[in-house]
Amino acid sequence: MILYALTIVVSAFLLFQVQPVIAKIILPWFGGSAAVWTTCILFFQMVLLLGYLYAHAVIRYLKPRTQMLLHCALLLVSVALLPVYPNASWKPAAGDDPTMRILGLLAATVGMPYFLLSTTGPLLQAWYARRFKGAIPYRLYALSNAGSMFALISYPALFEPAFTTVQQAWGWSGGYCVFVLVCGLTAYVSNRGPAEASGAQAVTSDTAAAPTASLYTMWLLLPAVASVMLLAITNHLSQNVAAIPFLWVLPLSIYLLTFILCFEGDGWYRRNPYLQLLAVALGSMAYAVSVDMTSNVPIKVMIPLFAMGLFTCCMVCHGELARLKPDPKYLTHFFLMISAGGALGGLLVGFAAPHLFNALYEMPLSLVACAALISYVLRQDAELKWVRRWPGVVTTAVLTLALAGYVGWQIKQMVSGSRVLARNFYGGLRVRDSGDPGSLDATRTLTHGTINHGEEYLNIARRDLPTTYYGPNTGIGVAIREKQQTGAIRIGVIGLGTGTTAAYGRLGDYIRYYEINPLVLELARKEFFYLKDCKAKLDVIMGDARLSLEQEPPQNFDVLAVDAFSSDSIPVHLLTKEAMDLYFRHLRPDGILAVHISNRYLNLQPVLEGEVHATGKIARVVDTEDDDTQDVFGATWVLITAPTSGFTGEELSSSAPLDSKRTVRLWTDDYSNLFKILK
């Protein structure tokens, strides 16, 4: 028993430890988008399904000795594919939808080891049940999920702060070699003759009834809905609350915790009180989604609310699933359907939704799906008579329809208040007009999640004024106006938005934008006038800015602005020591690097202070307040330049020095830690 438990815990730990490791490595290659994590989860769910399918086929069609030999041979082959560090040739060349490239990269880098790790749970449980004749192996499933959750929790707390990504990849690869040895030993032991099971464990499988079609359906749909809710809530937190990568780990940890609680022994799930809590959770999250569409609710409110909501919904889905678990004779059937359900949920949110929906509809729709499915599952239970009678049927139907009606109203409000709703891999964008169209104060706004990505006056007399974070007295405004005093200048801008900085362009100037999202460029050209009205020569380079700048000759910018955040997402790869070196390769000797660091949740000043010292530059902070009369928002910019040029202009010299009270380890392409800069 100890050997089986050890093998399963090690495999489960490695199975989920590699997910944040590989995601963090490739995140910079694809623009730092939160969708990279969703695509990674989709890949891992699909490979998990293949692993469970392999385990089912091996157990059903191969003799014990053949099973052992085949599995050991595959384990040895997988070792030859280590380490799990992706080749740089997988970096994208343009800003097209990178979903298929990410899936191909993961398959080539970690596909085989991950596949074999995913087979361990069902395969070893089946071997355990065969060796200890009639033993019930479901506790091993709970143990597997415990190992998985420890991997997720320990990564941001222990491994990410201490090791670079290269060290993490090599360390994981070493751990995988240990797993291969332990798993091979377990396979050898399992091939020996059967052992006695204790009386408490022994059951009879010979007369077990075959699962019905209805049972297979529930085995599929319950984990599918839980998976959809996991990814939908992760997307909602990332794009509407705080797009910070360690928030990706929180929902997945909750998801795994519910598996542990529901499959440990007799399980912790009880219909009373969880069904009552489910009604409260679904209603609360539906209301929170509608509120969050119109205002920025504090993170300390939204994260606990959605975390508890996800926990309750997954406890009910996985608890009902655990109640339906079959005799060990049909063990691999059960786990195969669970993995198929998880993969189905991943496909719906990670692949189908971005192509079918023009906004993040899967969050509210998942709430209705959960309510409808649980109502159906309860009515299939012959022992639960009150639900099968008309009062119970009417009650569940009314509650589900009321939730569906409220969600439908939410979606209608979102659509009716928007000029444009559009979505792709990089998230959902919304264009809306505010104010009386004929007034001087009427504006058109581009938002990503709940963050303003640019705003323009509709009145022709004011529409070319720089607004929001780019007003004349903001850091970027001061830097550009200072340089323009010497004549025509070259401006580089990482992050297009609505193209507000084009308002500063004069005849003879040159502005070069770097933008990864094709949808942003399309909206900036069709819905806004900054690019159309710009007097300077203007180019937009599509693709990730780091990759584009690495491939270009020096551009000799007088000012280079870094403002490529999506919602409050931090593109870590644009804020590393290597990135700073690259920026100054493209700046004139006296050029100014302007970095926009306004953020609700993260304090980026200590990061930039460390890089300023490491590169031998000097920096000033320009912190401005709101100016409602000019539609200018409060913003914080850090201006960095060479010591030889200094900040000679009056407005620049009067700005504050960059002096952070917090010190963090230098961010490089191999190391970064967002925990250390939480506000």
For residue 503, the domain's CATH number is 3.40.50.150
pLDDT tens, 596-635? 998 777 788 999 999 999 999 999 999 999 998 899 999 9
Residues in the chain: 679
Phi, psi of 47 (to 5 degrees): -70, -35
Cβ atoms of 310 and 230 closer than 8 Å: yes
**pLDDT for 469:** 93
**Alpha helices (H) along 569-625:** 577-585, 605-615
In this structure, are 125 and 84 located in the same domain? yes
In this structure, are 493 and 532 located in the same domain? yes
Whether residue 410 is contained in a domain is answered as no
In this structure, are 532 and 647 located in the same domain? yes
Boundary of a domain, candidates 165, 194, 223? 194
Higher pLDDT, 325 or 562: 562
pLDDT band at 424 (very low <50, low <70, confident <90, very high): confident
For residue 86, the domain's CATH number is 1.20.1250
Task: Indicate if the pLDDT at residue 202 is higher than 50.
Answer: no
Token code pair at residue 143: 């143990």
Cβ atoms of 455 and 432 closer than 8 Å: no
**pLDDT for 133:** 67
Token code pair at residue 175: 């751990």
Look at residues 619, 610, 616, 618 and name the one whose alpha carbon lies nearest to residue 666: 610
Cβ atoms of 161 and 261 closer than 8 Å: no
pLDDT band at 300 (very low <50, low <70, confident <90, very high): confident
Whether residue 427 is contained in a domain is answered as no
Burial letters for 584-610: b for 16+ Cβ neighbours within 10 Å, e otherwise?
Answer: bebbbeebbbbbbbbbebbbbbbbbbb
Which residues face 594 on adjacent strands?
A: 561, 639
How far, in Å, CA of 353 to CA of 346, rounded? 10
Look at residues 304, 299, 260 and name the one whose alpha carbon lies nearest to residue 281: 304
In this structure, are 185 and 218 located in the same domain? no
In this structure, are 112 and 150 located in the same domain? yes
In this structure, are 120 and 233 located in the same domain? no
**pLDDT for 341:** 95
Look at residues 330, 337, 339, 404 and name the one whose alpha carbon lies nearest to residue 373: 404
In this structure, are 160 and 43 located in the same domain? yes
Higher pLDDT, 35 or 231: 231
- C-alpha torsion 450→452→453→454, nearest 10: 150
Token code pair at residue 349: 């949110």
In this structure, are 298 and 163 located in the same domain? no
pLDDT tens, 136-182? 566 676 778 788 888 888 888 888 888 999 999 999 999 999 999 99
Helix (H) or strand (E) holding 183: helix 165-190
Whether residue 435 is contained in a domain is answered as no
In this structure, are 175 and 230 located in the same domain? no
Token code pair at residue 598: 């306004």
**pLDDT for 501:** 96
Which structural domain, as residue segments, surrounds residue 615? 465-677
Token code pair at residue 351: 């692949």
In this structure, are 154 and 225 located in the same domain? no
Whether residue 447 is contained in a domain is answered as no
Lowest mean pLDDT among 21-25, 367-371, 469-473: 21-25
Number of domains in the chain: 3
